[in-house]
Amino acid sequence: MVHEHHSHSGADLSVAARSTMEKSGEQWTPMRAAVFEALASFDRPASAYDIAEKVSQEQQRRVAANSVYRILDLFVGANLARRVESANAYIANDHPDCLHDCIFLICDSCGQAKHIDDDRLSGGVRDAARKAGFAPARPVIEVRGRCGECEGN
């Protein structure tokens, strides 16, 4: 079964992110908003250093990557961002009001990361882990290859 959800973009994504953050009991501070806006502006997974540089340029003051890492960890915990483990990078979750396991498709040519949702597949991974005596907290499924655009070139 493929998971259905409503994806947000632009200002609507920021509103959904803020709402989700506040529902989790956290404040939506100006710095958190700036980090989220920077993260959402990238068209591929971004590192904390990429985000810190972008926020620093926009605010015309140095923002430390360590501060960005703390905010990104909070975002991952609140379902506002997803961590692409193999790239040590992050993408904004375009449906933060919906919690599920993501499967990332990562292009080795252009660096794009697309996520797909398939509860049957991710549920199978969780079931296999449980059968092996393991309590899965957060399955990470990443498929590396070439996207359709790069494959066609």
With respect to residue 31, please indicate whether it lies within any of the assigned structural domains.
Answer: yes
Q: What is the structure's pLDDT at 10? A: 59
Q: What percent of the chain has a predicted confidence (pLDDT) above 70? A: 88
**pTM, rounded to two decimals:** 0.80
Amino acid at 12: D
With respect to residue 1, please indicate whether it lies within any of the assigned structural domains.
Answer: no
Are 85 and 120 in a shared domain? no
Are 36 and 82 in a shared domain? yes
Are 86 and 115 in a shared domain? no
Dihedral sign of CA atoms 1, 8, 42, 60 in order? negative
* Strand duo 141-145 + 103-107: pairing: parallel
Domain that holds residue 14: 10-92
Are 80 and 135 in a shared domain? no
Backbone φ, ψ for residue 117 (5° rounding):
-115, 125
Higher pLDDT, 102 or 106: 106
Are 60 and 15 in a shared domain? yes
With respect to residue 42, please indicate whether it lies within any of the assigned structural domains.
Answer: yes
Q: Domain total for the chain?
A: 2
pLDDT band at 11 (very low <50, low <70, confident <90, very high): low
Are 19 and 72 in a shared domain? yes
What would the two tokens of residue 70 be?
């703390």
